[in-house]
Structure 1
Amino acid sequence: MTGLLPAPGLTGLLLGTTPPGTYRLPPTDTAPRVTALAAEAEWRAAALRLGGVTTKTAFLDRCATDLEFPEWFGRNWDALADCLTDLSWWREEGKARGYLLVTEDWAAFRKAAPKEARTAEAIFGDAVDYWADAEAPLAVLLG
């Protein structure tokens, strides 16, 4: 279940005082602002733009494009889970303090494809749990 980002909000998440999780993006924040703040805090961040996405196929295609998944991404739920538990595709030179996935237009996607949104949210949650105790955790903000 996705909840509100607890106080102190994004700052707490990026500083490590708020545990990594799958949270709703506060309505006062935007994906570009959040990804910029994450970069300043030495987190790797990516925005998943879901405007106009209404199907599983379109969702997985958008993941492949926006998140720059590797060629081996099979465009299915298992492959999404694999990419989110093997972040080698996301790593760059240097060390990241964490990884942040921010979605845009999540509510519209959830309304258009509720079953697919629940599945994606479960996969996000499992990936967050997988990285929770790592030196560089994963967090997801659904906006």
Structure 2
Amino acid sequence: MAGQAYDVHDQAGGIVIVLDLDGVTDKAGLMDRCARDLALPDWFGRNWDALADSLADPTVWPEGAAAKGLLIVVRDWQRYAETRAEEWETLREVLGEAAHRVPALTVALAPGGSA
């Protein structure tokens, strides 16, 4: 993720990245949004396994995030969760598993205006 252009904030407690799902309507769009917002590497294969591998690999995180911690805030997720329930559940599992495997990673769901 280092060296990429994305919405990242260096906070006292760590690095914060926003994954904004507003307007995402299918898995392909979700994977594109993850690639863009999380600034995933070129090898990101736009599938669940590649997403899990990217999230669990601190070497692809923004500079300093492995030491300070990384918080991914998922915003405007409600419409996607309602219309693509199975994909949403898989995304939640992938995010949760990555956060469980890598103590420096935290994922939070933020309410948004697209519900």
TM-score (norm 1): 0.67
Runs of 4+ aligned residues of structure 1 deviating over 6 Å after TM superposition are none
Matched, 1:89 2:60: yes
Matched, 1:138 2:109: no
CA distance in 1, matches of 2:45, 2:74: 21
1:112 aligns to what? 83
CA distance in 2, matches of 1:64, 1:95: 19
Offset of 1:106 from its aligned partner?
A: 1.2
CA distance in 1, matches of 2:80, 2:48: 16
Question: Equivalent of 2:70, from 92, 99, 105?
Answer: 99
Matched, 1:53 2:24: yes
For 1:88, the aligned partner's letter is: T
Point out the structure with max Rg over C-alpha: 1
Gapped regions of structure 2 (runs ≥ 5): 1-6, 111-115
Offset of 1:60 from its aligned partner?
A: 0.5
Task: Name the Cα RMSD after superposition.
Answer: 1.9
Q: How does 1:1-143 map to 2 (within 5 A)?
A: 39-92=10-63, 96-132=67-103, 137-143=104-110
CA distance in 1, matches of 2:71, 2:11: 13
TM-score (norm 2): 0.82
Gapped regions of structure 1 (runs ≥ 5): 1-31
SS at match of 1:48: strand
Q: Measured at CA, do residues 52 and 94 of structure 1 come closer, stay the same or move farther in structure 2, by a change above 3 Å?
A: closer
